[in-house]
A and B are shown apart, each in its own frame.
Chain A
Amino acid sequence: MMLDAAGWEALRLSLLVGVTATAFALPLAIWVAWLLARGEFWGKAALNALVHLPLVLPPVVTGYLLLIAFGRTGPIGIFLEETIGLVLAFRWTGAVLASIVMGFPLMVRAIRLAIEAVDPKLEQAARTLGAPGHAVFRTVTLPLILPGILAGGVMGFAKAIGEFGATITFVANIPGETQTLPSAIYALLQVPGGEDTAISLVIWACILALSAVVLSEWLARRVAARIAGA
C-alpha cells in the first residue's frame, strides 16, 4: 500500500487527469447525447459514428491520430499554441485530451440512454406551460437524466484513470508530467524489482475504481429515489 514519491505522483496525476477530463467532457457529452437522442439533422449518423470511433479503433491508433492533429507540428496543435498558448503533446493536458476522447463514447452512451428514457410527453407538457426549449431541458429533462449523467461521469472518470494506449502514444510516459497510474505500473513491470511498487499501485487503482462505482451507485440511488418520490 505504501508508495514512493514517484508512485504518489502517478496517483495524483491520474486523479488530476480524471477529474479534469470528466469536468470538460461531461457538458459536451450531455449536449451530444441530446443531439443524438432528440435531434433530427443531416449527418446524425456520421456524428454517431465519430463519437463511437474511439471505442472500436485500437487505442494506439487513436493516440497516433491525436499526435498528428494535436502535436506541436499538427494543424490543431499549432493553432492552439499560437492562439491560447496551450500545448498538449507530451504534457498532462494531452493526457486529459486523450482521456476525454477515449471516455467520450461511454459517457454519451449512458446519457443518451437516460435521455431516451425520458417521456417526450413530459417535455410537451412543459412547453404548453410556457417553457421555451432550453428551459424544458433545464427544468424537466436534465433533472430526470441526472442518474444517467452520474453513471456516464463515473464511466468517463474510470476510463480516464485507466486510459493507457492512446495516452502513452500521444503524450508518452514522462514521470511527473504524463506518467499516470497505468503508465507507471507498466514502467515498473519493465524493470527488475519493480513488482512490489507495482502491486501497491494496482491496489490503489482497484480502490479508486471501486470507490467511483460505489459512490455513483449511491448517488444514482439517492437521485432515483428523489425522482420517484415517497
Chain B
Amino acid sequence: MTLSVALQHNQGAFCLDVAFDAGPGVTALFGRSGAGKTTIVNAVAGLLRPDTAHITLDGVTFNDTATFLPAHKRRVGYVFQDARLFPHLTVAQNLDYALRFGARPRGRDRIIEMLGIGDLLARRPATLSGGEKQRVALGRALLADPRLLLMDEPLAALDGPRKAEILPYLDRLKTESAVPILYVSHAVEEVARLADHMVLLTDGKVVRHGPLMDVMADPAAVPLLGVREAGAVLRATVEAHGDDGLSTLRVAAGPLQLMGVEAPVGAEIRLRVLAQDVLLSLEHPTGLSAQNILPVTILAIKSGDGPGAAIALDAAGDTLLARVTSRAVASMDLAPGKSVFAVIKATSIAQTAISGGVISGAKPAP
C-alpha cells in the first residue's frame, strides 16, 4: 500500500507545497501548529479541494487535474482531534454508522474488544469521558473498513492521564491492524512511540522525510524538533529484570540499566534518548554515578545558530544524538571519525513499545 501525495494550496498568505509518499505502518506528519498538517490530511480525506493536487492510494486516484473523488467514496477513515461522535446516536449506532453506506462489518467484535468499548455500547456520547469518546471515534473509523486511517492529533485535546489511557490502544491498533495510518502530531513523544516513518513539515514545506529512526537521529533535524525534544530512538531488547528494580536492556553497543521496565524479558522496545542528556567523554569515564556508558564514533557535527551543536554518534550501528556546546566541540577537538564515550544520563531515557507488551510509566535507572 502506498499513499502518494503532492499538493499546492494557498490559504491567504500561507502557501502549502508538499510531496511525499507514505507506505505501510504509521507515517507521522510532524510540525508546529500552522505548518499545514491538517490541510494535508483534509485534502487526503477529500474534505478540502486543494488548488492543485495529485493524490493516489494504491493506484486509485483521489485527486488530480481531472478528478476529485468525493470524500464518501474514498474509504479513508478519519479520527479527528475532537471525536465528533454523533450526539443523537448511541455508541453502538455511532460505531455502525458506516454500515448504512455499504461498509462490510469486518471484525466488529474484535475492534470493540481491542478498544475496550464493549461496556459503552448503549450509552450516548454526552455521557462519555474524553478518552472514551476518542476510543469510540477510533472504532467508528475502523468499522468503516478503511483503506487508510487518518488521525489528526487524536490525543491533543486530552489531558495527561487520558492520553496515557489511549496510547496503549494505539499501540495495539498499530500491531493488530493492517490499515496504514497517517498520524498528525506536534508531540515528539507520541511520534517517537508510534511512527515508523516521519514527514517533518515547516511553513508548508517538507523539510525531512524518511524512516523515523533516521529522521530522529539526524543532527540537522534538531532545531526542527526543538532542542529539548530532539533525541535518537533506538531498538532495545529486554534482557533481564533485577531484584533491585533495575532491568538490563541490550542495544547494539552494549547493555543499559533502566528502572521500571515492565515489558517481559525478550520483548523488543523503543528507547528514546534525548540529545541534551547525552554527555561525551574522550576517555572511558570512571567514578561517575551514571552507569550507562557506550563507546561511540562521531558521525557528523552540526552547529546550531546558538551556542549549541548537535552530534550524531555511531553506537555499533545504532545512531545516537548528543547536544553539546560549540565551545566543547572546539576544546575537545571533536570531529567526524573520532572515537569517544557517550555517557547517557539515564533520566533521559524514555521508553516506548515497538510491539508486544506495552510499557507505560517506566522510569530509567538513576
Q: Chain A interface (Cβ within 8 Å of chain B)?
A: 119, 121-122, 124-132, 135, 139-140, 143-144, 226-230
B265 within 8 A of A: no
B110 within 8 A of A: no
- Expressed in whole angstroms, the minimum distance between the Cβ of A140 and any Cβ of chain B is 6
A126 contacts which chain B residues (CB < 8 A)?
86, 97
B72 contacts which chain A residues (CB < 8 A)?
127-132
Known: A229-B124, A230-B124. A131 touches B101 (CB 8 A): yes
Whether B71 lies near A127 (C-beta < 8 A) is yes
Whether A228 lies near B45 (C-beta < 8 A) is no
B144 within 8 A of A: yes
What are 19 sample pairs from A and B whose C-beta atoms fall under 8 A apart? A121-B84, A124-B84, A128-B46, A128-B72, A128-B74, A128-B77, A128-B141, A129-B98, A129-B101, A129-B140, A131-B72, A131-B101, A132-B72, A227-B88, A228-B87, A228-B124, A229-B90, A229-B127, A230-B127
- Expressed in whole angstroms, the minimum distance between the Cβ of A219 and any Cβ of chain B is 15
A229 contacts which chain B residues (CB < 8 A)?
87-88, 90, 123-127
Whether A144 lies near B46 (C-beta < 8 A) is no
Q: Which of A122, A129, A140 contacts B144 (CB 8 A)?
A: A129
Whether A226 lies near B88 (C-beta < 8 A) is yes
In the docked arrangement, what's the CA distance between A140 and B123, Å? 18
In the docked arrangement, what's the CA distance between A88 and B102, Å? 47
Known: A128-B71, A128-B78, A230-B124. A144 touches B88 (CB 8 A): yes
A119-B84, A129-B140, A130-B72 are known contacts; what are 7 more A-B pairs with Cβ within 8 Å? A121-B82, A125-B84, A127-B72, A128-B46, A128-B78, A140-B86, A229-B124
Interface string of B58-75 (1 = CB under 8 A from A): 000000000000111111
Known: A144-B88, A228-B124. A128 touches B101 (CB 8 A): no
In the docked arrangement, what's the CA distance between A227 and B126, Å? 9
Known: A121-B80, A128-B77, A129-B97. A227 touches B144 (CB 8 A): no
Instruction: Please provide the chain B residues from 72 to 115 with a CB less than 8 Å away from any CB of chain A in the complex.
Output: 72-78, 80, 82, 84, 86-88, 90, 97-98, 100-103
In the docked arrangement, what's the CA distance between A143 and B46, Å? 25
- Expressed in whole angstroms, the minimum distance between the Cβ of B146 and any Cβ of chain A is 9
Q: How large is the interface on B (under 10, 10 to 19, 20 to 34, 35 or more residues)?
A: 20 to 34
Smallest CB gap from B71: residue in A: A127
A144 contacts which chain B residues (CB < 8 A)?
87-88
In the docked arrangement, what's the CA distance between A125 and B127, Å? 20
B156 within 8 A of A: no
B124 contacts which chain A residues (CB < 8 A)?
228-230
B74 contacts which chain A residues (CB < 8 A)?
128
B252 within 8 A of A: no
Whether B80 lies near A125 (C-beta < 8 A) is yes
A228 contacts which chain B residues (CB < 8 A)?
87, 124, 126
B71 contacts which chain A residues (CB < 8 A)?
124, 127-128
In the docked arrangement, what's the CA distance between A140 and B77, Å? 18
- Expressed in whole angstroms, the minimum distance between the Cβ of B345 and any Cβ of chain A is 44
8 smallest CB-CB distances across A and B, nearest first, come from: A229-B124, A130-B101, A128-B78, A125-B84, A127-B71, A129-B98, A229-B126, A227-B88
Q: Among B87, B124, B126, which residue has the most Cβ atoms of chain A within 10 A?
A: B87
Q: Among B70, B71, B74, B100, which residue has the most Cβ atoms of chain A within 10 A?
A: B71
Smallest CB gap from A132: residue in B: B72
In the docked arrangement, what's the CA distance between A126 and B84, Å? 9
In the docked arrangement, what's the CA distance between A125 and B47, Å? 9
- Expressed in whole angstroms, the minimum distance between the Cβ of A230 and any Cβ of chain B is 7
Whether A122 lies near B47 (C-beta < 8 A) is no
B88 contacts which chain A residues (CB < 8 A)?
143-144, 226-227, 229
B78 contacts which chain A residues (CB < 8 A)?
125, 128
Q: Among A130, A143, A226, which residue has the most Cβ atoms of chain B within 10 A?
A: A130
Whether B87 lies near A130 (C-beta < 8 A) is no
B144 contacts which chain A residues (CB < 8 A)?
128-130
In the docked arrangement, what's the CA distance between A122 and B47, Å? 12
Whether A124 lies near B100 (C-beta < 8 A) is no
Q: Which of B46, B86, B141 contacts A122 (CB 8 A)?
A: B86
B123 contacts which chain A residues (CB < 8 A)?
229
Whether A127 lies near B47 (C-beta < 8 A) is yes
Whether A128 lies near B45 (C-beta < 8 A) is yes
A143 contacts which chain B residues (CB < 8 A)?
88
Known: A132-B72, A228-B126. A127 touches B84 (CB 8 A): no
Q: Which of A125, A128, A131, A226 contacts B100 (CB 8 A)?
A: A131
In the docked arrangement, what's the CA distance between A135 and B82, Å? 22
- Expressed in whole angstroms, the minimum distance between the Cβ of B58 and any Cβ of chain A is 18
Smallest CB gap from B48: residue in A: A124
B77 contacts which chain A residues (CB < 8 A)?
128
Instruction: Please provide the chain B residues from 97 to 155 with a CB less than 8 Å away from any CB of chain A in the complex.
Output: 97-98, 100-103, 123-127, 140-141, 144
In the docked arrangement, what's the CA distance between A121 and B47, Å? 10
Whether B127 lies near A122 (C-beta < 8 A) is no
Smallest CB gap from B127: residue in A: A229
In the docked arrangement, what's the CA distance between A135 and B45, Å? 18
Smallest CB gap from B42: residue in A: A124
In the docked arrangement, what's the CA distance between A122 and B85, Å? 7
